[in-house]
Amino acid sequence: MDQIFSTLFNQPLGTDTALQVALSALSTLLTAVALMLLAHRNDLGWWVQILAAFAGPLVIALTFGYEGLLSAVPSLVVAAYGLWRFSRFTLHGRFTREVVRAPLHLRQFGWGLGVAVVLTALGLGQMLTSGFVFQAGTANIWIAYGCAAVISAALVGVANGVRWAWLAAAAAGVVNVGVLLAGGDPALGTLFALVLLALGALYGWFVWGALPVAERSDDAPRADAGNAADYPPHPYRDSPARG
């Protein structure tokens, strides 16, 4: 068992570092699973992402230092926001939502970048305020926290039906894989989780290419919608296949 753990995470079993690496890899793996579910507009994807926030960032913060909550809590808030935002779309089947793709606008890139910057700053926390991350040799720290922030910002985009957000998540996963491989002798468990995350995001990009595009920002069907005659035909609701 010790040998398997050491092979997967390049850390001896029983140390604090080993626990942090294993929990981070588990959180990444759960995020990858969440992305695959969200690619099919499945509400369960957000619950899996909430579990990812608990399994990794929150447990690490509560175990090794409360300052980590600055990055853990936003991860949980993003997942909870996604669950709420998907609830604004009509339920189609048991867990699937009739998500309508948001039209592409330049402002989506603006707020996506803004969310990523804020989340990166929160993740760095005391390392940023103390100036530690401005020292030489801290590029990998910037990349790690920046990629994590981009993935969270991408999830906000996915929650709002923004297709390009999938590419942002995929790019962050690929960059993380590149950094891990460049370091030499990567932890196989972490590497597998990151590769799966990048593939899950790319899968979401292709699957969402078939979704209808909303004609206006407020035409996402809601549970409290009024008379159906007040709304234009919906690509799912008014499909002949639905009768």
Share of the chain above pLDDT 70, in %: 88
Average pLDDT over residues 79-105: 89
Query: Does residue 118 carry a pLDDT above 50?
Result: yes
Three-state SS string across 94-117, please? Answer: CCEECCCECCCCHHHHHHHHHHHH
Cα–Cα distance for residue pair 50/161, rounded to 1 Å: 19
What's the mean pLDDT when you consider all of the chain? Answer: 83
DSSP 18-47: HHHHHHHHHHHHHHHHHHHHHHTTBTHHHH
On whether the CB atoms of residues 205 and 166 are closer than 8 A, the answer is yes
**The pTM is what?**
0.83
Nearest Cα residue to 138 out of 128, 147, 148: 128
Nearest Cα residue to 242 out of 90, 120, 131, 103: 90
Nearest Cα residue to 89 out of 21, 158, 149, 15: 158
Type and span of the H or E element at 67: none
The pLDDT of residue 62: 77
Q: pLDDT digit string (tens) for 131-189? A: 888 888 888 889 989 999 999 999 999 999 999 999 999 999 999 999 988 877 788 89
Using 50, 70 and 90 to split pLDDT, how confident is the model at 92?
confident
The pLDDT of residue 241: 39
Q: Which residue has the tokens 């020292």?
A: 135
Cα–Cα distance for residue pair 4/13, rounded to 1 Å: 9
Give the long-range contacts of residues 188-192, CB within 8 A, separation 24 or more. Answer: 188/7, 188/8, 188/9, 189/8, 189/9, 189/22, 189/25, 190/9, 190/21, 190/24, 190/25, 190/28, 192/29
Q: Spell out the residues 6+ positions from residue 114 whose beta carbon is closer than 8 angstroms to its own.
A: none
Cα–Cα distance for residue pair 188/190, rounded to 1 Å: 5
Using 50, 70 and 90 to split pLDDT, how confident is the model at 20?
confident
Spell out the domain ranges in the chain. 15-217
Cα–Cα distance for residue pair 123/142, rounded to 1 Å: 10
pLDDT top residue among 105 and 230: 105
Nearest Cα residue to 169 out of 139, 203, 120, 211: 203
What six digits make up the tokens of 42?
Answer: 């499945």
The pLDDT of residue 216: 53
Q: How far is CA 74 from CA 50, 131, 161, 200, in A?
A: 11, 22, 20, 22
Q: pLDDT digit string (tens) for 180-238? A: 888 777 888 999 999 999 999 999 999 998 888 876 544 444 444 434 333 344 444 44
